Amino acid sequence: MSLTIRPAAPEDCPTIVSHIRELAIFEKLENEAVGTAEQFRLHLFGERPICEALMAEWNGEPAGFALFFTNFSTFLAKPGLYLEDLYVREPFRRKGIGKALITTIASIAVERNYGRFEWSVLNWNSPAIAFYRSLGAVPMDEWTVQRVSGPALQYMAAMAPESNGK
C-alpha cells in the first residue's frame, strides 16, 4: 500500500471542501461548514495566500488532508504553525495517515525555524487526544479558546473607535 503526502494544488479545492464536510459531520458541526471550493482556492492560492494544506492519498485515492497557517508568539518572538483541521476519511483510518500529516507539518515548522506548533481538539474526542499525547503534545489546561463570529463579531467591530488605524 502506498501513502503520498503532498502540498495541495488548486484542483484539490473541491476535495478539501468534501473532506471538511465529512469532518463537520463527524464533529456534529455540519451546519457550520459553509466554505466553497472557490473560497479555499482564493485563500490557499490567491494573490495573498493565508493558509496552506497538505493532501494525503492512499494508492492515489483521496484519503485526508490537513490545513494550517502561520501564527506568531510574542513571548518567543517567532512565528509558529496552527493546525486548523486534520481529517482522515473513515476507510483510511488506522493506516498511519494522520501521523504522517501531523508529523509533516511539524517538520515544516522545524524547517522554517518556527517556535511552536499548536492546534485545538474537541474535549469529547478521546481517540484524537490519546493520539496527540502519543506524539508528545501537551494540553494547555490553563487556556480557554475565545471566539467571536457572526453577529457578535459585527457588534464588536462596531465598537472600534473611528481612529483605529484603518
87 is catalytic: no
Query: Could you give the domains of the chain?
Result: 3-140 (3.40.630.30)
- C-alpha distance from residue 50 to each of 42, 44, 45, 81, 161 (Å): 9, 6, 9, 12, 27
CB 55 within 8 A of CB 97: no
Residues of the chain where predicted confidence (pLDDT) is lower than 70: 164-166
The Cα 130–Cα 110 span in angstroms is: 23
Which H or E run includes 32? none
Q: In whole angstroms, what is the distance from residue 34 CA to residue 17 CA?
A: 9
Q: How far is CA 152 from CA 147, 148, 149, in A?
A: 9, 6, 6
Options 82, 87, 114, 132, the catalytic residue: 132
Q: How high is the pLDDT of residue 164?
A: 56
Neighbours of 40 (CB within 10 A): 23
Give the model confidence (pLDDT) of 7-46 as tens digits: 999 999 999 999 999 999 999 999 999 999 999 999 999 9
- Those residues whose C-beta lies under 8 Å from the C-beta of residue 86, and which sit 6 or more positions away, are 64, 65, 66, 98, 101, 102, 119
Q: Give the integer Cα–Cα distance in Å for 18 and 29.
A: 14
**N-terminal to C-terminal alpha carbon distance within the chain:** 53
Closest CA to 101 of 125, 120, 84, 113: 84
Per-residue confidence (pLDDT) for residue 75, from 0 to 100: 96
